[in-house]
Amino acid sequence: MTSPADVLLVAAGVLAGAAGSAGGITSLISYPALLAAGIPPLPANVTQAVAFVTCLPGSALGSLKNVLLGVSDVVAAVGLALFGRFAGRRRCRWPWDCWPGA
């Protein structure tokens, strides 16, 4: 037979998992649910830390494809920034040389 605390923890786990995959804010849902289920603050906090550490590898592997796809955008942005930096350096030796009214 399930207790109300068991139902609360399962529901909070499902909601926390959905919130974690969307924005990484699982503790906003699961920590108060653990406290409401009667778990003392220290064990609830340790539970949160263990859950966070064990979710990191899965999140990193799940995001790897997106990170690798964005590498070309980062390289292009850095190249453009470096070009602008050196092109601006030829015109303005010091930042105040290019300020209006200087």
pTM as predicted: 0.50
**pLDDT tens digits, 10-22:** 888 888 777 766 6
Q: Which residues contact 47 (CB under 8 A, 6 or more apart)?
A: 34, 39
62 close to 52: Cβ distance less than 8 angstroms: no
Cα–Cα distance measured from residue 76 to residue 73, given in angstroms and rounded to the nearest whole number: 5
The predicted pLDDT at position 60 comes to 77
Report residue 72 as tokens.
């070309």
Under the banding of pLDDT at 50, 70 and 90, the label for residue 9 is: confident
**pLDDT tens digits, 31-71:** 888 899 898 999 988 888 887 777 777 777 877 887 787 78
The predicted pLDDT at position 100 comes to 66
